Amino acid sequence: MFYHVQNLINPIIADEPDPSAANALQEGLGGQFGEMRTMMQYLFQSFNFRGDSVPYHDLIQGIGIEEISHVELITKTIAALLDGSPAYQGKKFETPGKGGTTPMNEAKEQMNPQHFIVGAQGALPVDSAGNPWSGSYVHCNGNLVLDLLDNLVLESTGRLQKCRIYQMSSNKTFRATVSFLIARDEAHEMAFGKALEKLGVNWNKLLPIPKFDSSQYPEVKKLIDAGVNREQYHFRLDGSEMARIFSGPAPANDGSELTTLKEPVESYTTSPGAERPEEFSPGLDPELQELADALTDLKEKAKRGQKPSNGVGKKSVSRK
């Protein structure tokens, strides 16, 4: 079973809305090599795991759990890039719409109008061409060696695609998330590479693990310098054997070392999106809002000048 903390694994940096960048990022979420696949692939492999090779199980499942946080991060990043974009009057979208009879005029010009018609300015479980995510992307072969090889290809291809996506926009919201995911993909390449190394693969004599030098991207370099691409979290409260694999020299053969940690050193607060009246979202009229507020102690405590408690979901129905 699983628990969660209502924090993000990496901060979302504020910048202007950029719906085209949001759409490019959909490939990293719902594409064939995106975060939804890595999450489902590693979770299915760990849930179907056979035999008693606990360190391999713990490695695959620990990474699978991290991938849930990546799906969360990239989803919220896409939403942040979309949020408010139809009414945005900054330098990129100087078109009519704001305050007129067509407040969502800009939406129909975007790469994927479903972001506005279906998703209320939020992320969708689709790729950058709008194809729905498919369970057939998930490879769970029931064979440890084959699964590890498949996972290494998945992480390498995912990182390659994100290195391409990085170059599509200089938007800070976009680049912060893409850069973090690039650094973490590299850690996961090391994890599956190391697991295969423990089963006898000698990367020096076989093939190098694919190298796409992302250290040329300043945001990625900062993370690499901090060692983010050489650590892995196991998230297991009852003791993990992941460190029996993820430790010692990295299979990149660059002199770096791998470190297993219980969880990421830092996590970052997140807040729900603003209301979007043009999307009828969340769509609570005053009567319904009152009922929703009755479930929270926010307004009551605000009246009494007390700090509201930190309950998850409470903020989402509050109005100032």
The site for Mn ion (CB under 5 A) is made up of 35, 38, 67, 70
For the CB of residue 239, give the shortest distance to Mn ion in the complex, in Å: 24
Helix extents (H) in the chain:
19-30, 35-47, 54-82, 114-117, 144-166, 172-198, 218-225, 286-294, 298-303
For the CB of residue 107, give the shortest distance to Mn ion in the complex, in Å: 29
For the CB of residue 285, give the shortest distance to Mn ion in the complex, in Å: 40
Contacts 24+ apart (CB under 8 A), 3-6: 3/237, 5/267, 6/270, 6/312
For the CB of residue 66, give the shortest distance to Mn ion in the complex, in Å: 7
Instruction: Closer to Mn ion by CB, 57 or 188: give it.
Output: 188
3-state secondary structure at position 92: coil
Among residues 143, 151, 154, 146, the alpha carbon closest in space to that of 60 is found at 151
Instruction: Closer to Mn ion by CB, 40 or 317: give it.
Output: 40
Instruction: Closer to Mn ion by CB, 106 or 185: give it.
Output: 185
Instruction: Give the residue closest to Mn ion by C-beta.
Output: 70
For the CB of residue 63, give the shortest distance to Mn ion in the complex, in Å: 8
Instruction: Closer to Mn ion by CB, 9 or 126: give it.
Output: 9
CA atoms within 13 A on the CB side of 160: 11
Provide the residue count of the chain.
320
